[in-house]
A and B are shown apart, each in its own frame.
Chain A
Amino acid sequence: MTRLGDLERAVMDVLWDSVPATSDGVTVREVADALDGRELAYTTVMTVLDRLAGKGMVQREREGRAWRYRPAATREAHIAQLMLDALDLGGSRDAVLVRFARSVTGTEAEVLRAALGAEAGLTDRVDDPRAGGPALDEATDR
């Protein structure tokens, strides 16, 4: 893993683990303080947060002269998104992944989608007609 990827992960961990969902985010300074052990420069943390914002992983709002950052979605929602891809429910028509086996039930699929549906910002990839195929609907109706 690249050093930058490593930093992005550390920053996201701070945002996910130490920012309560109700709060309106943290400043760069607060993130840098939480990553105290790494002795990162303020500007480094800012760059990483900037990159993460560019990727749509964090949202930011201006407060006075500083930005406040918070995660765009929970860690669980991202995992649910990856699992939808992994179980071929993500609605992609391309051969993005090669799977060992698919064995997923309608119930599981619904749970995964529900995890995503609750999240703003990720919903654009969930609304796929194929994902809610007749077989799955039938399974969940029982």
Chain B
Amino acid sequence: MAYAVHFAATILACWLTAQVLTVSKWTWRAPRVAILCWQAVGLALGLSAMGLPMAVGLAAYDRPTGSALLALAEDLAHGTLPAGVGAAHLGLVGIGFGIGAVLLTTTVRSIHGTVRAQRRHRELLSLVARRDPTVPGALVLDHPSAAAYCLPGVRPRVVVSAGTLSLLDRAELAAVLTHERTHAQERHDLVLLPFTALCRALPWFGWVRDAHEQVALLVEMRADDKARELHAEAPLAGALRRFAAAGHRVTPAGALGVGDRDLDVRVQRLLVADRPPRLLGGTALAVATTLVALPISLFLS
């Protein structure tokens, strides 16, 4: 039973860590560390969710879950189950595998849907987007709304709309392009993918959505950091402000654009030049490593 308690404790620790990560402000100064922490929490949570029912079902073996599973497989092959392992216990082990299967298939389905949508988007882009000498290496969509995005993939595309070109000045545009290229180079789409998949698998859990939103914001901040490294704060903050204001240009007073809150947070963050919190970041990484190591060690021993 000790092993089940281990898994349960890991789940609790994951939940607590997620709560702390959600309310912490240091994460904004060290987005990469925070992203790693979120990934660790996600992985540890997934493994523990599989491990908990398995460990309860395999309590009779009194061994770590990994070797208990092997022992169970051997016993099943010989058709002899030890005392204390009944249908209910086997059912629990089955539930553990079921959770793993659900997590895996959701991720695969998410990848499948994403790749298909990306291919369609890429095809349309190649037919209607144009190249423009003012934005080398990027594609331009002739539309008055302001949009700038990255279509990720092996051959990523950075796309801006004509609305963006008229909205931003040269320096701001350069900062935005660097921001988008960072998304492409660091494959932020792959960072977000498991969290998106988890949102699809467990749509009724608010904190899963929160985690997804947090990671999405952190990814933006990471790309902002890269852009500020190369172009200084002012153009990037300017571009963000203009994007935030662009929503209001064509709307009646009072109607808010979508995503305004995140834009505000990102602009505020650029205005204060803080050093990354080394001590806090290091502690967070240590906690995250422990979280992942707990369930993995139980499965491997």
The answer to whether the Cβ of B248 comes within 8 Å of any Cβ in the partner chain is yes
The answer to whether the Cβ of B180 comes within 8 Å of any Cβ in the partner chain is yes
User: Known: A81-B124, A82-B124, A139-B256. Contact between A98 and B183, CB under 8 A?
Assistant: yes
Interface SS, B side? helix
In the bound complex, do residue A78 and residue B145 qualify as a contact, i.e. CB atoms below 8 Å apart?
no
User: Known: A57-B127, A101-B263. Contact between A106 and B114, CB under 8 A?
Assistant: no
- Residue interface bits B173-198, CB-to-A below 8 A is 1, else 0: 00010011001100011001100100
Cβ contacts under 8 Å, A78 to chain B? 124, 127-128
The answer to whether the Cβ of A120 comes within 8 Å of any Cβ in the partner chain is no
User: Known: A5-B126, A83-B141, A86-B147. Contact between A100 and B180, CB under 8 A?
Assistant: yes
Cβ contacts under 8 Å, A100 to chain B? 147-149, 176, 179-180, 239, 243
User: Known: A95-B196, A98-B180, A135-B258. Contact between A1 and B146, CB under 8 A?
Assistant: no
Chain B: minimal CB distance from A142 (Å): 5
User: Known: A5-B126, A95-B192, A142-B254. Contact between A82 and B141, CB under 8 A?
Assistant: yes
Cβ contacts under 8 Å, B121 to chain A? 82, 85, 96-97
In the bound complex, do residue B148 and residue A105 qualify as a contact, i.e. CB atoms below 8 Å apart?
no
Cβ contacts under 8 Å, A139 to chain B? 251, 255-256
In the bound complex, do residue A8 and residue B246 qualify as a contact, i.e. CB atoms below 8 Å apart?
no
Count residues of B near A (Cβ-Cβ below 8 Å): 62
How far apart sit A30 and B266, CA to CA, in the bound complex (Å)?
Answer: 53
The answer to whether the Cβ of B170 comes within 8 Å of any Cβ in the partner chain is no
How far apart sit A139 and B293, CA to CA, in the bound complex (Å)?
Answer: 48
Interchain CB contact (< 8 A) of B114 among A81, A94, A104, A138: A94
Cβ contacts under 8 Å, B278 to chain A? none
- Residue interface bits A67-81, CB-to-B below 8 A is 1, else 0: 000000001001111
User: Known: A82-B124, A94-B196. Contact between A101 and B251, CB under 8 A?
Assistant: no
Taking CB as reference atom, which chain A residue is nearest B190?
A95
Chain A: minimal CB distance from B280 (Å): 27
How far apart sit A86 and B141, CA to CA, in the bound complex (Å)?
Answer: 10
Cβ contacts under 8 Å, A12 to chain B? 127-128
User: Known: A97-B151, A139-B251. Contact between A92 and B117, CB under 8 A?
Assistant: yes
In the bound complex, do residue A96 and residue B114 qualify as a contact, i.e. CB atoms below 8 Å apart?
yes
In the bound complex, do residue A79 and residue B128 qualify as a contact, i.e. CB atoms below 8 Å apart?
yes
How far apart sit A104 and B164, CA to CA, in the bound complex (Å)?
Answer: 12
The answer to whether the Cβ of B63 comes within 8 Å of any Cβ in the partner chain is no
How far apart sit A80 and B254, CA to CA, in the bound complex (Å)?
Answer: 25
How far apart sit A99 and B239, CA to CA, in the bound complex (Å)?
Answer: 13
In the bound complex, do residue A86 and residue B127 qualify as a contact, i.e. CB atoms below 8 Å apart?
no
Chain B: minimal CB distance from A11 (Å): 9
Cβ contacts under 8 Å, A94 to chain B? 110, 113-114, 117, 193, 196
The answer to whether the Cβ of B103 comes within 8 Å of any Cβ in the partner chain is no
How far apart sit A96 and B121, CA to CA, in the bound complex (Å)?
Answer: 9
Cβ contacts under 8 Å, B180 to chain A? 98, 100
Question: What are 24 residue pairs bridging A and B, where the CB atoms are less than 8 Å apart in the complex?
Answer: A79-B142, A80-B143, A82-B125, A87-B258, A94-B117, A95-B192, A95-B193, A96-B117, A96-B118, A96-B121, A97-B121, A98-B184, A99-B147, A100-B179, A101-B244, A101-B263, A101-B266, A102-B258, A103-B146, A103-B260, A112-B145, A138-B255, A139-B255, A142-B255
